[in-house]
Amino acid sequence: MSKWEILLTDGLEDNGQELLRTAAEVENNPTITADDLLKVVGDYDALIVRGRTKVTAAVFEAGKKLKVVGRSGVGVDNIDLVAAKAKGVTVVNAPIATTLAVAELTLGLMLSLMREIPRADSGMKANKWLKKELEGCELYQKTLGVIGCGRIGAAVGDRARAFGMRVLGYDPLLTDIDIRRKGMEPASLEGIYQRADMITIHVPLNDQTRGMINAETIGKMKKGVYLVCAARGGIIDESALLAALGSGQVAGAGLDVLATEPPGESPLAAHPKVVATPHIGAQTREAQARAAGDIATEVLAALNNETLRWRVA
């Protein structure tokens, strides 16, 4: 019998499962409830999740054998890192696997907004020829503000420059030299608000970023700005964005994330000036395969006390 017992609660691509099974017994239960997780987590040495499962303090308390929690993806806001540290449980993620997928979706949202592609498509499907109503704008020579210049923000900047955009970058964790090396012009948040025709957000959700795009900050932006967010719901104050869409302060928004997911009947997602997608930034076959391989390798390394590439806590 294998040494380690590993529980998957949100599924994992076959390549990742196969790698784990070379060294462990793996239980794949992608529909497990929060209550049932508390009942069984004590039997496992490792837990691997995506975004659905909430790894709360109660989970860590019940996980008597738990040595490592792996997040197959980037964001770890569904994992209580304070509780993990208190219980001595290592938390790892797979931060580079989904970079290209999220960056490409961000560009897709940008293009969809500027050229009203969803409206054009729905019109065609309804046998409506909306040609005269669909005069869009080009990305060429527009100014893009990138808030958060990590891997994804930098990848978006690279692709935006290929469209001939001017790219401003803001990141409190990077120096101006670092931002220039990523091909962006360093700017303050105020500078981005004042100058950018379009703003894309690539920061984690935490106490510092929650609601950072709100009525006050939107009021500082250029009238008619476009906003794009494929990071985390909650970074944008949705009521403030809805009001700004109504006033015309914001010309349109591309949102892959919302504060509540799924949102139910959401006036923001249904707004005609919003292109909304159901948190699919990382949902490509290639990205999911990369993430599965990366997190499987990292979790096994943690179990075997080997060097870790992506330790979060």
Domain ranges within the chain, ordered by starting residue:
4-97+285-303, 99-276
Mention every residue, 6+ apart, whose C-beta is less than 8 A from residue 91.
68, 69, 70, 71, 76, 79, 81, 84, 311, 312, 313
Whole-angstrom distance, CA of residue 109 vs CA of residue 275: 7
Contacts of range 284-287, beta carbons closer than 8 Å, 24 or more positions apart? 284/101, 284/104, 286/100, 286/101, 287/97, 287/98, 287/100, 287/101
Return the amino acid letter for 87.
K
pTM for this prediction: 0.90
Choosing from 195, 271, 279, 311, which is the catalytic residue? Answer: 279
pLDDT of res. 237: 98
Whole-angstrom distance, CA of residue 277 vs CA of residue 178: 32
pLDDT of res. 245: 98
Q: Do domains 4-97+285-303 and 99-276 have the same CATH topology?
A: yes
Token pair recorded at residue 272:
């005609």
Q: What Cα–Cα distance (Å) separates residue 112 from each residue in 138, 205, 207, 231, 309?
A: 11, 25, 31, 18, 36
**For this structure, is 279 an active site residue?**
yes
With a cut of 50, list the residues of the chain below it in pLDDT: 1
Mention every residue, 6+ apart, whose C-beta is less than 8 A from residue 189.
147, 170, 217
Choosing from 166, 195, 261, 311, which is the catalytic residue? Answer: 261
Return the amino acid letter for 99.
T
pLDDT of res. 3: 85
Average pLDDT, rounded, for the chain: 96
Strands 4-8 and 46-49: parallel
**At the top level of CATH, which class does the domain 99-276 belong to?**
alpha beta
Whole-angstrom distance, CA of residue 8 vs CA of residue 289: 15
Whole-angstrom distance, CA of residue 252 vs CA of residue 269: 11
Q: Whose structure tokens read 């970079």?
A: 99
| pLDDT tens per residue, range 208-258 | 999 999 999 999 999 999 999 999 999 999 999 999 999 999 999 999 999
pLDDT of res. 188: 98
**At the top level of CATH, which class does the domain 4-97+285-303 belong to?**
alpha beta
Choosing from 232, 238, 290, 298, which is the catalytic residue? Answer: 232
